[in-house]
């Protein structure tokens, strides 16, 4: 073929049998959570936890005018110091019990951890990168029990769907980081948690957090593990006790946020994070923010249902760089904290503000929504669980077929293994710049009809052969809807293969794997989006490329997953969030450890080597952003090349805009641009999209999610992109004669 030579896999160096787990160093045993719950039992504290959750729920909805205060270090690293902090908090909790609902902040995970940074006390309790996760869970559970025995409720943050099984029965309030508030997986998790849940938001993405609250109120189905550590299908009732946690802001901004919530039919109440933004490096900023909140409450404002304080025994922060021996006891190792005297003074002022508000004429009541409180006690009793405080919003954990059984039932033939291996190498060569072919990922935004997908694949395979010298064509075969609109609609072929909300997930995995085998059998490689850490065990060996959707690129769990996938991985960025995609590429190149399941369907600790074949997928917003992102990648010593998603931005709703974006990219390539190494096209047999309606069979070959290009337009764009690659080669010919493969 024309262009630079691409590496061919050496049969002796990498056997085609080894298509999966190529970047996995080990899957270590993870103790079943039922064993830990039995070992560190806590029956005496469940009454207090149940009462605390009820009080917090009423405060979130405006039925209790007390102010929630979640206070403690941003990331718990020292159990002894945290327990001492809780002991100091206890008398203040009693003193201000009529004005404040005090919760100890025990954040055991770090949303921005990993990739050279400390991952949090559950993942790395020894603070040295050893990832003694079983020890971390034991230490975390003991700390939560000790705090509960003081009569204080605890609040935790969750980054994955497995960790809650070890500690959730001891937690009264939960948080979802702003990095994962848009992730479908984390919204599904929140819908099943037995506590009120706060979705953290940045100023720029408040609407995302508000939408997360709305989505989490609905029932969901997702993949996790049981208390016995076995993979399962979790069904939830939905959680109407979710709320937003926003950075400290002006009264006008609070008012606007409350109006947004009210428009969605949600309680117009906010929790204020006084430790966000500049306060993470300057404790004085946090103290001023808390004072402003107190002032507005004293003046009668009911917008704030609570505050979040980054607080510890000592003020400021310290670095882990010099080792644990040099650490000051009671001082944060992540974001800066206010010290204990400042904390006590803030609590006093907040309590006084609540009393003052009560003394003033009452303003109109805040908008309220009926709580769907946890009512499932006795309806679902999982062996090893604690029915008093756990699984209260879970209706069932159904059996999930072990991945090994499906792989044995539907094995990959030798020619498919060879195709997958060769395509992965070829894609890597394109990303690294040793091949000048253009990667083209084309297919329906979310596959729903296997027969129509096969017809599209047959046409695409013929076009791929036609343009093989210029284009590396991969069929996009996405089985899970990663977007937030999936929260209240059809979730994709794997989760709901019958398109009727029956969630026959085992059938969905069987259908998806069979379709991947059939398409690879045409000689056409495939790529899929992964929204959780369990699904890849069923189908990743048949993928030549993987993607992480724009809603999940800030999620640490998804970056950890990417670091262990055997394929190149693209991180999709939404408009204005290219920096997140770049950071995800950087983070995923490093080794990680995370929780998932083995091929036998048993929970385990996965250790990865890191993945240097990750890349940024940008919306079609223009050459200037492409150039800026490539310069940033180069500074990070990463390949300065990006893939352009022509179906994002304006192309998401308008197929004509998508076609124009692809034509513009082709024009830049023809003029010699090497920034773009690939394009993505939302494409199917017919143009546009259709709604799924009960009792009506969807039109054959038309998307049921995002509008797509039709086949004729797709074929024309492939011709245009191939011609652009040829033009670029010709333009480069006088300077450097291409080598042939």
Res 488: pLDDT:
58
Among left, alpha and beta (phi > 0; psi -120 to 50; other), residue 601 is left
Res 380: pLDDT:
58
Q: What angle do CA 147, 151, 153 make, to 5 degrees?
A: 65
Res 324: pLDDT:
85
Q: What is the number of domains present in the chain?
A: 2
Res 4: pLDDT:
38
Point out the least confidently predicted range of 99-108, 342-351, 481-490. 481-490
What's the rounded mean pLDDT across residues 158-181?
A: 96
d(CA 379, CA 461): 51
Mean confidence (pLDDT) of the chain? 91
Identify the three-state secondary structure at position 496. coil
Res 480: pLDDT:
87
What's the rounded mean pLDDT across residues 225-244?
A: 95
**Same-domain pairing of 80 and 201:** yes
Which among 550, 623, 560 is positioned nearest to 580, based on CA atoms? 550
Q: pLDDT of 480-497, one tens digit each?
A: 886 545 455 788 999 999
Res 483: pLDDT:
58
d(CA 74, CA 59): 23
Question: Is 621's pLDDT higher than 90?
Answer: no
Question: Is 34's pLDDT higher than 50?
Answer: yes
What's the rounded mean pLDDT across residues 510-523?
A: 98
- Name the token pair of 434: 């040793």
β partners of residue 495: none
CB contact at 8 A, 20 and 541: yes
What's the rounded mean pLDDT across residues 312-325?
A: 90
What's the rounded mean pLDDT across residues 73-82?
A: 96
**Same-domain pairing of 488 and 353:** no
Q: pLDDT of 179-203, one tens digit each?
A: 999 999 999 999 999 999 999 998 6
Res 17: pLDDT:
63
Neighbours of 22 (CB within 10 A): 16
Q: Give the per-residue SS3 of 630-698.
A: HHHHHHCCCCCCEEEECCCHHHHCCHHHHHHHHHHHHHHHHCCCCCEEEEEEEECCCCEECCCCCCCCC
- Name the token pair of 451: 């027969």
Res 205: pLDDT:
73
Q: Is residue 296 part of a domain?
A: yes
**Same-domain pairing of 542 and 575:** yes
**Same-domain pairing of 392 and 454:** no
Res 384: pLDDT:
65
More confident residue, 217 or 694: 217
**Same-domain pairing of 277 and 200:** yes
d(CA 728, CA 724): 6
Question: Is 13's pLDDT higher than 90?
Answer: no
**Same-domain pairing of 352 and 434:** no
Report which secondary-structure segment, H or E, holds 247. Answer: strand 242-247
CB contact at 8 A, 395 and 379: yes
Q: Is residue 679 part of a domain?
A: yes
Q: Give the per-residue SS3 of 420-477.
A: HHHHHHHHHHHHHCCCCCEEEEEECCCCCCHHHHHHHHHHHHHHHHHCCCCEEEEEEC
Q: Is residue 617 part of a domain?
A: yes
Q: Is residue 490 part of a domain?
A: yes
The CA radius of gyration of the chain, in Å to the nearest whole number, is 26
Question: Is 103's pLDDT higher than 70?
Answer: yes
Question: Is 1's pLDDT higher than 50?
Answer: no
Q: Is residue 510 part of a domain?
A: yes
Question: Is 653's pLDDT higher than 70?
Answer: yes
Read off the pLDDT band of 226 (50, 70, 90): very high
Q: pLDDT of 673-728, one tens digit each?
A: 999 999 999 999 999 999 988 888 999 999 999 899 999 999 999 999 999 999 99
**Same-domain pairing of 461 and 575:** yes
Point out the least confidently predicted range of 108-117, 475-484, 710-719. 475-484
- Name the token pair of 659: 């076609």
Question: Is 411's pLDDT higher than 90?
Answer: yes
Q: How far apart are the first and last CA of the chain?
A: 6
C-alpha 314 chain-centroid distance: 33
Which among 412, 341, 459, 441 is positioned nearest to 678, based on CA atoms? 441
Res 95: pLDDT:
98
What's the rounded mean pLDDT across residues 167-190?
A: 95
CB contact at 8 A, 708 and 682: yes
**Same-domain pairing of 637 and 660:** yes
**Same-domain pairing of 311 and 458:** no
Read off the pLDDT band of 12 (50, 70, 90): very low
**Same-domain pairing of 390 and 471:** no
- Per the structure, the complete domain to which residue 641 belongs is given by 412-588+613-732
The CATH number for 46's domain is: 3.20.20.70
Q: Is residue 675 part of a domain?
A: yes
**What percent of the chain is modeled with pLDDT above 90?**
79
d(CA 717, CA 348): 66
Res 368: pLDDT:
44
């Amino acid at each position: 073929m024309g262009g630079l030579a691409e590496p061919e896999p050496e049969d002796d160096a990498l056997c085609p049998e080894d298509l999966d787990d190529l970047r996995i160093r080990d899957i270590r045993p993870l103790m079943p959570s039922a064993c830990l719950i039995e070992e560190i039992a806590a029956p005496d504290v469940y009454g207090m936890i149940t009462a605390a959750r009820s009080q917090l729920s009423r405060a979130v909805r405006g039925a209790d005018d007390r102010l929630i205060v979640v206070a403690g270090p941003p990331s718990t690293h020292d159990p002894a110091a945290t327990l001492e902090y809780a002991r100091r908090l206890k008398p203040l909790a009693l003193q201000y019990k009529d004005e404040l609902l005090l919760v100890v902040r025990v954040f055991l995970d770090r949303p921005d951890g990993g990739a050279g940074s400390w991952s949090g006390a559950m993942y790395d309790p020894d603070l040295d990168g050893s990832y003694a996760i079983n020890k971390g869970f034991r230490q975390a559970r003991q700390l939560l029990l000790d705090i509960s025995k003081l009569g204080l409720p605890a609040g935790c943050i969750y980054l994955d769907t497995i960790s809650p099984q070890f500690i959730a029965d001891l937690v009264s309030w939960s948080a979802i980081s702003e990095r994962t508030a848009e992730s479908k997986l984390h919204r599904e998790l929140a819908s099943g948690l037995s506590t009120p849940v706060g979705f953290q938001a940045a100023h720029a993405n408040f609407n995302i957090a508000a939408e997360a609250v709305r989505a989490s109120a609905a029932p969901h189905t997702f993949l996790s593990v049981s208390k016995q550590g076995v993979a399962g299908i979790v069904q939830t009732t939905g959680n109407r006790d979710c709320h937003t946690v926003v950075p400290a802001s002006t009264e006008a901004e609070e008012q606007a946020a409350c109006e947004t919530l009210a428009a969605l039919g949600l309680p117009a109440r906010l929790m204020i994070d006084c430790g966000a933004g500049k306060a993470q490096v300057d404790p004085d900023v946090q103290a001023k923010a808390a004072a402003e909140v107190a002032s507005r409450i004293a003046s009668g404002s009911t917008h704030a249902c609570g505050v979040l304080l980054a607080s510890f025994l000592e003020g400021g922060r310290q670095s882990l760089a010099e080792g644990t021996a040099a650490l000051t006891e009671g001082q944060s190792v992540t974001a800066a904290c206010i010290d204990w005297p400042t904390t006590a003074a803030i609590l006093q002022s907040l309590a006084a503000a609540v009393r003052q508000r009560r003394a003033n004429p009452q303003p109109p009541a805040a908008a309220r929504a009926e709580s769907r409180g946890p009512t499932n006690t006795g309806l679902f009793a999982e062996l090893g669980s604690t029915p008093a405080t756990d699984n209260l919003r879970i209706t069932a954990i159904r059996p999930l077929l072990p991945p090994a059984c499906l792989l044995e039932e539907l094995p990959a033939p030798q020619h498919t293994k060879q195709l997958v291996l060769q395509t992965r190498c070829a894609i890597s060569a394109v990303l690294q710049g040793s091949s000048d072919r253009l990667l083209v990922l084309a297919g329906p935004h979310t596959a729903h009809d296997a027969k129509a997908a096969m017809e599209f694949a047959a046409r695409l395979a013929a076009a791929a052969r036609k343009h093989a010298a210029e284009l590396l064509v991969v069929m996009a075969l996405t089985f899970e809807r990663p977007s937030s609109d999936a929260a209240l609609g059809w979730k994709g072929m794997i989760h709901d293969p019958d398109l009727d909300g029956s969630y026959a997930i085992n059938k969905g995995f069987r259908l998806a794997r069979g379709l991947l085998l059939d398409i690879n059998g045409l000689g056409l490689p495939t790529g899929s989006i992964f929204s959780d850490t369990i699904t890849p065990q069923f189908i990743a060996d048949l993928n030549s490329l993987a993607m992480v959707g724009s809603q999940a690129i800030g999620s640490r769990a998804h970056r950890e997953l990417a670091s262990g996938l055997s394929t190149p991985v693209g991180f999709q960025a939404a408009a204005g969030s290219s920096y997140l995609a770049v950071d995800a590429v950087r983070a995923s190149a490093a080794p990680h450890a995370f929780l998932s399941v083995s091929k036998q369907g048993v929970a385990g600790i996965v250790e990865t080597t890191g993945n240097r074949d990750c890349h940024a997928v940008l919306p079609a917003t223009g050459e200037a952003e492409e150039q800026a992102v490539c310069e940033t990648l180069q500074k990070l010593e990463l390949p300065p090349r990006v893939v352009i998603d022509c179906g994002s931005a304006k192309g998401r709703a308008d197929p004509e805009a998508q076609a124009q974006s692809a034509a513009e990219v082709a024009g830049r390539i023809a003029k010699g641009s090497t920034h773009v190494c690939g394009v993505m096209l939302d494409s199917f047999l017919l143009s546009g999209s259709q709604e799924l309606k009960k009792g009506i069979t969807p039109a054959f070959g038309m998307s049921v999610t995002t509008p797509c290009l039709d086949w004729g337009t797709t074929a024309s764009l492939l011709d245009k992109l191939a011609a652009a690659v040829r033009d670029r080669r010709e333009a480069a010919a006088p300077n450097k004669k291409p080598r042939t493969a």
